[in-house]
Chain A
Amino acid sequence: MVLARETPRLHFNAIEPGLNPTTGLGGGDVGAFVRFLQTHIIPLLVPLLMRFIKILSTPKLSARVITKILIDASGQTGVYYYERGHPMLGSTLVRDPEFTDRVVAETRALLSSTVPTYRGER
């Protein structure tokens, strides 16, 4: 969220979409049995378990939350949202400006040093 500080004319926000076991993320590396569970069994269980496991979510619910944030015209910037679309505190490191500045600076340095065409346009 260094970007939010650097460019106040734009609005930078982050969303943690929750635990989405039905997306198939990482499914390419798992066996047929796990893929079967991901495709046919887990989608049936998630709606039942969401009541008890709050961080569980579905792509449909996540899509609604993310879309709401992306089309939002309120001007909020630098906000970390959780899976239900409300603000949450980021981790200690995320809230440490020295650390986040360093992450951004080193990312730019890595891209600039390795990719000749990268200019780090800002």
Chain B
Amino acid sequence: MEKNISSTVLENRADRKAYIITGPTSGIGRRTALELAKHGTVVLVGRHREKLAEVQKTMEQKGQYAISVVCDLSDPASVRRAAAEIIALHLPIAGLLNNAGIMQMRPTKNTLGWDMTFATNHLGSFALTEALVPHLPDGANVVFVVSAVEDPERKPAKLAGFRGGRYISAQRRARAASGSPAGPRSRASMPTQRRSSAISPR
């Protein structure tokens, strides 16, 4: 495991929130890392040291702060080493973004014989999160970039019941359509309980 920590970052780390991002060297991850750098120190977690260094350099040229941690998410041992390295930095971590993901046209396997996509996209993010959770301060955000594109039940937000960012139940929509008194005026913001049930039904 190797790291590249500039003295400038270490001098300023106590004063700035830190955000960890996996897969920060291309695509959505790269753009998000650059966006996050406006809000604090960014811990860049990725496989390729050279690519991490390039992103870090881009940030530092703008006067922003970044730390690179080399990690192969498809290798659980590498994930644990990276997590230990991040914890040892003692940064005030405000968020973890599990962004890294691969899509292979020809499936390959990691050294343990696991499917590389499964190992990287699911196991790696899971193991990193579990290793870091005990060390995250109360209120920290953990975000997973996921894919619902393949969900056969997924409908455009409007059909699913959302109107301008608000959820309206099927019953309310039906009442609104029938012109009952509890019609359009009964619209309500999606309540917290309902929001939680979107992925956490209990």
Contacts and interface: CB of A to CB of B under 8 A. Distances in A.
A70 B202 contact: no
B28 A20 contact: yes
A59 B199 contact: no
A88 B28 contact: no
Given A70-B36, A78-B198, A121 B133 contact: yes
Interface residues on B, range: 35 or more
Interface residues of A, number: 69
Binding site of A, secondary structure by majority: helix, strand, loop or mixed?
A: loop
A9 to B, nearest CB: 5
B134 A122 contact: yes
Interface of B: 19, 26-28, 30-32, 34-36, 39, 76-77, 80, 94-95, 97, 99, 101-106, 112, 122-123, 126-127, 129-131, 133-134, 136, 138-149, 151, 153-154, 156-157, 160-162, 165, 167, 190, 192, 195-202
Interface of A: 1-5, 7, 9-20, 23-26, 29-30, 54-55, 59-60, 62-64, 66-67, 69-73, 75-80, 82, 84, 86-92, 94-97, 100, 107-108, 110-111, 114-115, 117-118, 120-122
